Structure 1
Amino acid sequence: MSDSATPATDEHETEYGEVVGFLTDLIRIDTSNPVKPERPAAEYVAEKLAEAGLEPRIFESDQGRASVVARLEGSGSSADALLVHGHLDVVPADPADWSVHPFAGEVKDGLVWGRGAVDMKDMDAMTLAVVRRMLREGRRPRRDIVLAFLADEEAGGNYGAKFLADKHPELFEGCTEAISEVGGYSYEINPELRLYLIETAQKGLAWMRLHARGQAGHGSMLNTDNAVTRVAQAVARIGAHEFPVTLTPTVRDFLTEVCEAMGIEFDPKQPEAAVAQLGPLARFIGATLRHTANPTMLEAGYKSNVIPERASAVIDGRFLPGGQDEFLAAIDELAGPGVTRENIHLDRSVESPFGTPLVETMLAALQAEDPAARTVPYCLSAGTDNKTFASLGMTGYGFVPLRLTPDLDFAAMFHGVDERVPVSALDFGARVLDRFLMAA
């Protein structure tokens, strides 16, 4: 057991020394979705798994859009399997905006810098390092572990998780639970108490295109049937609309526990007052109090003096667990007459129980390395591939264990400039992940 007040020892750094190298290598393989395919990263991962004695398989859904799946057999033949999945793609990054090149995989000031350092090649690297060490030492987890390194998560998973779930569901035979990204990281209340946020719920996703038709004509003439005006009015109504606050069970539990830990008064009738006092945590939780709908794109016309027959807009909608029908009905009402809605990408919301043996195992693994650890559930305002695996009957959680330094604005790292993760957090995460996988 490592002392929570001291950094990782040289011994621990040696034990998991591969993790930093794996992460820097993966960052240097540019997998910016959609312009850079995942195949080179998939081949790298498959090679590392094969070296350890596993039999990874690469599945290509389209040219270069590759995922890797392997199964690590456990010692308990009757136990259900656990899926550990991460994605290989990243969002693009403009080097001109960064203080280091986003695909150089640079290590400086005790941090690994680059696109994917947090989202989520860090977990890919930790998983590789832990599994390889297990196999070197002849250790087997209690249950089968299915390892999946996936394509296309940043664009909805059609070329990755959704492809595999639809075309190769047999890969996940026996899997009842899954862990993946955006959870398990720490928030320090004080040196004696660190909260580790476990993602147990996700808002649903509704990317929608609104269409309006009108009378085409000359720009100099009167026109009361203007498609541009109609879609613009719909966008204005939707963009200005504030959905009512709705406390889901996960968000209520999060606020109750966090406010108690921070000494903040929490009135369930006025949750926004509590959220306003949460500091950096407010970024993660603020958008989970209500449905949201943000206009993101407009398209109409082809010449300044021609009134077009058609106009369209794109809305990024996120709905609370259990609120899909209510949300879409509200969007249709706000859009108004003469405007139709097309679903570009509609994906479910999910909400998993917190008081489960798997979450208890997470806490035990965390506290073995950090006695000041306490786990709390939270709802993610975005989404992960756990949505897809829920369709196969799996209960999913966000658990990438990282003990973060208090000065790191972790929320800003996701899709942000100068994305980076402490080397000490990677070492901590590998130790916790090892304990967790062996006991899960």
Structure 2
Amino acid sequence: MNEVAQICSDLIRFDTTNPGSGERPAAEHVAGLLSDAGIEPTVFESARNRTSVVARIPGDSPEALLIHGHLDVVPAEPADWQVHPFSGEVADGCVWGRGAVDMKGTLSMTLALVRDWARRGVRPKRDIVLAFLADEEATGEYGSRYAATRHRELFDGCTEAISESGGYSVQAPDARIYPVAVGERGTAWMKLTAHGVAGHGSRPPKDNAVAELCHALSRIASYQWPVRLTPGVAALIAGLADILGEKIDYDRLEEEAERLGQAGALFKAQIRNSANPTMLEAGYKVNVVPGTATAHVDGRFLPGYREEFLETIDRLLGPKVTREFVNIEDAPSAPLDAPFFGQLCDALVAEDPAARPVPYVMSGGTDAKSFADIGIKGYGFAPLMLSPELDYYGMFHGVDERVPVEGLEFGMRVLDRLLAS
């Protein structure tokens, strides 16, 4: 087994499920791999066993590039998988296990590359700051937020960053599309509370908190958010039209996204804000009307549309339901016209002549939000060549998550070309 596959397999075998027992063993393993390559790691904890690792590789320029990723993974039920999700088994040309795609495969590419640099005596074009972080699969409170605020000095000089959810291949009829993320939707996780009058369930209703909350949730769930084309998404759709050689109807973008399949999935969730009710709690006995009822809603808003999103939510809630934030993070964006974006695209094309890079906006969120707060422009760029039958989106938090060994090797070559050529 080559080094990148071995590192990926080893990392998967550390059960870093979040919530769980923490990232410490995996972080210590990463620190050891860096130390063996002559790279001095800084290891710190935000809470017991919530451990992150940061290291800096000197380059030829005072400006620095941050490469960050997370050590934690979402839960996995072994009974649902073909192989045990924490086995790190290598079969059918892939490394299998929870985190193979999200995102221990990417971490293994970075680790294998810098270890190869150490053996070859390669010096990058500019300082490279490596961050292997805890807690991305929750809010980042114990990982990227803690690192960016309590250890801000470790990121001195960093102007741009690259991380997950971009740079992977999407097969089109005559080309491979590579979305490079230039932004992501903001996060508004909210707890909703309705207050009413408690009483006997047999009496006529008076300010029934459960009913008021259900009405509000129904309004939210059925609301059709207007289409809002941000510059990144508009550029993506124009790029897809050019690559596919066909017109995309801007008046029917949802239907067009369905028609275009995997290519359409790149913009389907990125043309609107969204709000999904996810949790509901009220009452304790069937014949008692409770005085309060609560629910949680996962809200996401496009770059530049935070205020519109919140104003709409408040209107839909009505006067008898209040909201409070469980987590609120702005939608970061990075410039399309920056030379660095062009360098990311060029590195992909150099390793895959069939590559057609396009800008992209992520529907969810990453640790890029924390680093945007300290002025670092984040791009989604974890280069990976996938065979057409592998469903990249479906493997995120899904069963039988796996990453092709050849895809990891491709990603290493792209990163090497980007950072050291």
Class of the TM-score when normalised by the shorter of the 2 chains = over 0.9
Q: Distance in 2 between matches of 1:296 and 1:316?
A: 7
2:385 aligned with 1:398:
no
Residue 183 of structure 2 aligns with which residue?
A: 201
Deviation, 1:374, is: 2.0
* CA offset digits 1:78-131 (Å, max 9, x no partner): x31000000000000111111111111111111111100000001110000000
Secondary structure of the corresponding residue to residue 353 of structure 2: coil
Match of 1:152 among 117, 135, 152: 135
* CA offset digits 1:35-83 (Å, max 9, x no partner): 130111100000000000011011100010000000000023xx31000
Secondary structure of the corresponding residue to residue 228 of structure 1: helix
Letter in 2 for 1:44: H
Residue 172 of structure 2 aligns with which residue?
A: 189
Q: Distance in 2 between matches of 1:97 and 1:36?
A: 22
Q: Tell me, yes or no, if the aligned pair for 2:68 and 2:132 is still in contact at 8 Å.
A: yes
Identity %: 55
Residue 220 of structure 1 aligns with which residue?
A: 202
Residue 418 of structure 1 aligns with which residue?
A: 400
Residue 270 of structure 1 aligns with which residue?
A: 252
Residue 121 of structure 1 aligns with which residue?
A: 104
Q: Tell me, yes or no, if the aligned pair for 2:13 and 2:88 is still in contact at 8 Å.
A: yes
TM-score normalised by structure 2 residue count: 0.98
Deviation, 1:361, is: 1.7
* CA offset digits 1:319-377 (Å, max 9, x no partner): 11100011011001101111001111001101211232212222222222211112100
2:233 aligned with 1:248:
no
Match of 1:53 among 17, 38, 41: 38
Deviation, 1:223, is: 2.1
Q: Distance in 2 between matches of 1:284 and 1:376?
A: 10
Q: Tell me, yes or no, if the aligned pair for 2:237 and 2:267 is still in contact at 8 Å.
A: no
Q: Distance in 2 between matches of 1:165 and 1:64?
A: 18
**Which moves more between the two structures, 270-279 or 206-215?**
270-279
2:264 aligned with 1:282:
yes
Deviation, 1:207, is: 0.3
Q: Tell me, yes or no, if the aligned pair for 1:252 and 1:268 is still in contact at 8 Å.
A: no
* CA offset digits 1:238-269 (Å, max 9, x no partner): 01111011111111111111122113312333
Q: Distance in 1 between matches of 2:207 and 2:258?
A: 44
Q: Which runs of 5+ in 1 are unaligned?
A: 1-12
* CA offset digits 1:183-209 (Å, max 9, x no partner): 000112245x22111011100000001
Q: Tell me, yes or no, if the aligned pair for 1:259 and 1:274 is still in contact at 8 Å.
A: no
Q: Distance in 1 between matches of 2:342 and 2:118?
A: 25
Q: Distance in 2 between matches of 1:35 and 1:216?
A: 38
| Pairing of 1:349-364 with structure 2 (within 5 A) | 349-364=331-346
Residue 293 of structure 2 aligns with which residue?
A: 311
Deviation, 1:270, is: 3.1
| Pairing of 1:8-407 with structure 2 (within 5 A) | 17-76=2-61, 79-190=62-173, 193-407=175-389
Q: Tell me, yes or no, if the aligned pair for 2:170 and 2:262 is still in contact at 8 Å.
A: no
Q: Distance in 2 between matches of 1:363 and 1:259?
A: 18
Letter in 1 for 2:23: E
Deviation, 1:396, is: 0.7
Q: Distance in 1 between matches of 2:352 and 2:270?
A: 28
Stretches (4+) displaced over 4 A: none
2:412 aligned with 1:427:
no
Q: Distance in 2 between matches of 1:262 and 1:373?
A: 13
* CA offset digits 1:366-399 (Å, max 9, x no partner): 2222111121001100011111101111111000
Q: Distance in 1 between matches of 2:45 and 2:238?
A: 45
Q: Tell me, yes or no, if the aligned pair for 1:196 and 1:374 is still in contact at 8 Å.
A: yes
Q: Distance in 2 between matches of 1:363 and 1:311?
A: 50
Q: Distance in 2 between matches of 1:220 and 1:54?
A: 71
TM-score normalised by structure 1 residue count: 0.94
Q: Distance in 1 between matches of 2:351 and 2:245?
A: 26
Q: Tell me, yes or no, if the aligned pair for 2:172 and 2:263 is still in contact at 8 Å.
A: no
**Which moves more between the two structures, 202-211 or 428-437?**
428-437
Q: Distance in 2 between matches of 1:360 and 1:333?
A: 42
Q: Tell me, yes or no, if the aligned pair for 1:264 and 1:274 is still in contact at 8 Å.
A: no
Q: Distance in 2 between matches of 1:401 and 1:141?
A: 18
Q: Tell me, yes or no, if the aligned pair for 1:288 and 1:379 is still in contact at 8 Å.
A: yes
Q: Distance in 1 between matches of 2:21 and 2:173?
A: 42
Q: Tell me, yes or no, if the aligned pair for 2:257 and 2:268 is still in contact at 8 Å.
A: yes
| Coordinate RMSD, CA, aligned | 1.2
Q: Which runs of 5+ in 2 are unaligned?
A: none
Aligned length: 421
**Which moves more between the two structures, 341-350 or 256-265?**
256-265
Q: Distance in 2 between matches of 1:240 and 1:170?
A: 46
Secondary structure of the corresponding residue to residue 244 of structure 1: coil
Q: Distance in 2 between matches of 1:23 and 1:281?
A: 28
Letter in 1 for 2:74: V
Q: Tell me, yes or no, if the aligned pair for 2:257 and 2:265 is still in contact at 8 Å.
A: no
Secondary structure of the corresponding residue to residue 259 of structure 2: coil
Q: Tell me, yes or no, if the aligned pair for 2:256 and 2:264 is still in contact at 8 Å.
A: no
Letter in 1 for 2:214: A
